[in-house]
Amino acid sequence: MSESAKGNAHPAAADASSHGVGADANSATDAPLPRSSDDSSGHSLRARRLGIHTHEQPVVYLRKDSPVCRAEGFEARNRIDVHVDDRTVTATLNMVSDALLKIDEVGLSEAAWERLMPEPDSKIRFSHPLPLDSMGWIRAKMYGRSLDGGQLDGIMRDVVARRFSDVELAAFVAACAGSRLDRHETLGLTRAMVDVGSRLSWNKSPIADKHSVGGLPGNRTTMIVVPIVTALGFMMPKTSSRAITSPSGTADTMETLAPVALSLDAMRRVVDREGGCIVWGGAVGLSPADDLLIRIERALDVDSIGQLVASVLSKKVAAGATHCVFDIPIGRTAKVRDRAAAATVVSYLEQIGEALGLRVRCVITDGSQPVGRGIGPALEARDVLAVLRGERDAPMDLRGRAQTLAAGLLETIGAARGRAAATLAEETLASGRAWAKFQALCDAQGGMRELKFAAHTHDVVSHCSGRVRAIDNRLLSRAAKLAGAPHAAAAGALLHVRIGDAVHAGEPLFSLHADTRGEIAYALDFVDRHPDIVAIEQDV
């Protein structure tokens, strides 16, 4: 931006003679200029916990007429730094009237309170946040420039330190959306995400892992693959995500059957005892940067190949995995829409996985329609239980996919080869050993839970007779979300047909499940406006 300087300017030393030009009523002393209000004004405010949940963004509430605001010129600023002892939070500033706070009080949102942990007599200090270098890099990315490893490190450090506002995080997510992060940036982002989180080591190899690239409702194979592989004595400490843009993540579905929000220590105890686990990655803090970005990606309902790969691989590396199988469903309404897109994802996963010391195997699967019948946490858990228990009407597609992925993983870690690996996976499931193991895992994680059912359901029926031609994963997911999934665990959709099925007019295609009548209504309103969720080829 500017040429290398041969000579330059520097600020005057802090002596009285250099305070020149205008009158400076307070500049008669030689004292160094202050950096925070506590030092400058001696005003100190009492912290008040206002009990406001602001979606994890720290917010601080100040009265416009408070001495701190007047002394520091905070009135119209968006962001200020708040300090308690050696803890600092960069917070969004909301000015308030005198109805809410006393003149000597500062209000803190829950996110700010929990990070600052003020005592009744704590001194609360304030300062202006310095401009973030990393915001300059995000701006450069918006303008189309590439980011190097050091810049991505800096951005992730500031993400984890929560120095960005939600608006700034949204700009980063948008600047990286689609295919705007190249391979090199994706590797840099993955490394940066690993570096700002904890990293597990297991003193053992192989450590198996799996991941399904999202977008396919009901694709809950993890809860079947983990018990198969661990029942065979291999180690598989699995951390899963909650839903980003979908009606349920594996962690959400697993949580309907057992606790998943385990600490790192608790997770270790489960793995030591059972050789595996299925827990929520967010609670163990393996990739805290990712957890913070995902909140914004969810709000925008958007992600990118670079962020997807970095998100997935950073968690595998942080979890100490050595071998990983990836399920990549292809479908017009899945996250990966065609073979070309799948090839890109596969090459990103393989190359970046390899660069990070992870053995990667990708399995391309059918993503044309949901897997199993349930869409939403508890409804999906029902399908998983049916497969594990070997029930006769268990969804065959879910069982088949889980066996294929388990076989691929067994082959990758060297447990068996080709047909033998497939047989090993099938027998472990059919014999009930996987089911026994799953119950043991649930027990170790805190005890198995009863599934809940939704209070309200509503059938959506076919208005004609014919054959199911297509099912739109995205629209069906959105309907399930409007019904309350994943926040309401029992909510979602239950699919009664699959592509190719014959249906008669008036027969149910799927049902909506919700905790409240209001949510059924919202979902139904959406279904009404999208008659193509299940497309029927009419009989002629």
Residues of span 152-171 touching a second copy by CB under 8 A: 165-171
Which of 303, 256, 308 has its CA nearest to residue 451? 256
Unique residue bearing structure tokens 């694709």? 219
For the four alpha carbons of 436, 229, 426 and 390, in that order, the dihedral sign comes to: positive
Residues of span 188-247 touching a second copy by CB under 8 A: none
CA dist 167 and 424 (Å) reads: 50
Which of 238, 298, 296, 228 has its CA nearest to residue 271? 238
Distances (CA, A) of 376 to 37, 217, 266, 488: 50, 8, 27, 9
Name the one range near a second copy by CB under 8 A: 131-139, 154-162, 257-265, 387-395. Answer: 131-139
Distances (CA, A) of 403 to 215, 396, 429: 20, 11, 8
Name the one range near a second copy by CB under 8 A: 115-123, 188-196, 266-274, 297-305. Answer: 297-305
Among 26, 119, 203, 393, binds a second copy (CB under 8 A): 26
Report in angstroms how near the CB of residue 482 gets to a second copy at its nearest.
Answer: 7
Report in angstroms how near the CB of residue 374 gets to a second copy at its nearest.
Answer: 12
Residues of span 332-371 touching a second copy by CB under 8 A: 332-333
Full DSSP string of 93-134: EEEE-TTTS-TTEEEE-HHHHHHH---TTPPEEEEPPPPPHH
Which of 191, 268, 272 has its CA nearest to residue 230? 272
178 part of the interface to a second copy, by CB under 8 A: yes
CA dist 361 and 355 (Å) reads: 14
Burial class (CB in 10 A: 0-12, 13-18, 19+), 36: middle
x/- site string to a second copy, residues 87 to 126, per CB under 8 A? -----x-xxxxxxx--------x-----------------
Name the DSSP letter for residue 45.
B
Number of residues written out for the chain: 540
Listing from the earlier edge strand, what are the strands of the sheet with 208-212?
Answer: 208-212, 323-330, 359-366
- Nearest to a second copy of 202, 526 (CB atom): 526
Among 46, 77, 183, 359, binds a second copy (CB under 8 A): 77
> Which of 252, 303, 327, 383 does the annotation list as catalytic?
303
Full DSSP string of 200-245: ---SSS-BEEEEE-S--TT--THHHHHHHHHHTT-BEEEEEPPPSS
- Nearest to a second copy of 44, 457 (CB atom): 457
183 part of the interface to a second copy, by CB under 8 A: no
40 part of the interface to a second copy, by CB under 8 A: yes
Name the DSSP letter for residue 16.
G
SS3 (DSSP) at 341: helix
290 is catalytic: no
Residues of span 506-525 touching a second copy by CB under 8 A: 508-509, 511, 513-522, 524-525
Report in angstroms how near the CB of residue 219 gets to a second copy at its nearest.
Answer: 19
Report in angstroms how near the CB of residue 8 gets to a second copy at its nearest.
Answer: 4
- Nearest to a second copy of 254, 491 (CB atom): 491
179 part of the interface to a second copy, by CB under 8 A: yes
What is the token pair recorded at 460? 């959506």
* 310 dihedral zone (left: phi>0; alpha: psi -120 to 50; beta): alpha
Name the one range near a second copy by CB under 8 A: 173-181, 259-267, 340-348, 392-400. Answer: 173-181
Q: In sequence order, what are the beta bridge partners of 492?
A: 513
Among 30, 53, 86, 121, binds a second copy (CB under 8 A): 53
8 part of the interface to a second copy, by CB under 8 A: yes
Among 28, 42, 76, 418, binds a second copy (CB under 8 A): 76
311 part of the interface to a second copy, by CB under 8 A: no
128 part of the interface to a second copy, by CB under 8 A: yes
Name the one range near a second copy by CB under 8 A: 142-150, 196-204, 265-273, 396-404. Answer: 142-150
- Nearest to a second copy of 303, 411 (CB atom): 303
β-pairing, 374-375 vs 492-495, is: antiparallel
Among 10, 119, 203, 340, binds a second copy (CB under 8 A): 10
Residues of span 450-509 touching a second copy by CB under 8 A: 453-464, 466, 469-470, 472, 474-475, 478, 482, 484, 487-488, 491, 494, 508-509
Among 115, 123, 157, 180, binds a second copy (CB under 8 A): 180
Kindly list the catalytic residues.
Answer: 303
